[in-house]
Chains A and B, each alone.
Chain A
Amino acid sequence: MSESDLQPLDGNAAAGLLGEMFWRDMTTATGICAGCGSEGPFAEARLFASAMGSVLRCPHCDNVLLRAARTPRGVWLDMQGFRSLTFTPTPDAN
């Protein structure tokens, strides 16, 4: 099955994996896409997940924002599709 046949999940579903690496919740961050410059919540990006790893794509231009994979050496993460990520403290979940 190719990536495009799958029903995508979204950034919410990547929270656990990223929580292994970062000691804070990433899904509340606001990201800017390096492809089209649009800005939006991490949680609203499209996630294509498989046993091999996960690919997060921009909902506007399909640019790959993030790739994550489990390798024998540990978790591998490529986030170059984000131009930037902004973390704003929220009253409930910072």
Chain B
Amino acid sequence: MLANLINGISLGSVYAIIALGYTMVYGIAKMLNFAHGDVIMVGGYIAFCSIAYLGWPPALAVLAAVVVCTMLGIVIERLAYKPLRNATSLAVLITAIGVSYFLQNAALLIWTSNTKVFPNIFANLPGLTLGDMQIAPVTLITVLANIVIMVALTLFTGKTKMGKAMRAVSEDKGAATLMGINVNRTISLTFAIGSGLAAIAGVLLCTAYPTLMPTTGAMPGIKAFTAAVFGGIGSIPGAMLGGILLGVIEIFGKAYISTQLSDAIVFSVLIIVLLVKPTGLLGRKVNEKV
């Protein structure tokens, strides 16, 4: 029971970190970046290659993954989404799906479809023993990383000038422009942060579930998207709550109901929540412009 809960929180923390990227990009650019999940996969491969081929220490490999994904996020936004800033949301959505396929196929070309076994980068760290239960270091670090990221983002958006400007852009781009805020740069920054977080999520995910292939990011991406909607898309605490709840529901579903049905359970919960509260758990109503 407790072990399942801890596993659920750990998996949920990964979803939460990914969901933050979805939710921040949605909040600012009002678009669903369906390629976000595939950025996770790229992060996983970059870290893998840095360790397995270049022999870099894990910390450096994580850094490399973050740097590459951050840049990837900026480039994707610039090339694929920025030209569509005034296009219909359907056009943007289709483009995002296109970017997703592009990344998966590029990974297929570069790294082939052979599954890579991701090394346990936290093997040297001590775990935690609670009574007769072992908690793996990756679990601890995932939960810890989640908390640190949550706190950092809350401080960033709540206390810094740049973070507040980000919130201003998410509310009203025109008014933000009148304040002197560079909206394009703010959107770029959001993609950078979201994609950097995706890299961290990628490393944590691959360490916990060590198989890496070009489609690795797809399912966690969809689940994290679900988590973001579940918690209330656009809301940072919502992404956190949604992610963790989703992880816990998934693990409990697997443990007590059915392994095959666990995903179906997850999505059913989403549907029920959205029927009862269309804005998600912590979402707020979208204001109608007067």
Real binding pair: no
Chain B residues with CB under 8 Å of chain A are: none
Chain A residues with CB under 8 Å of chain B are: none
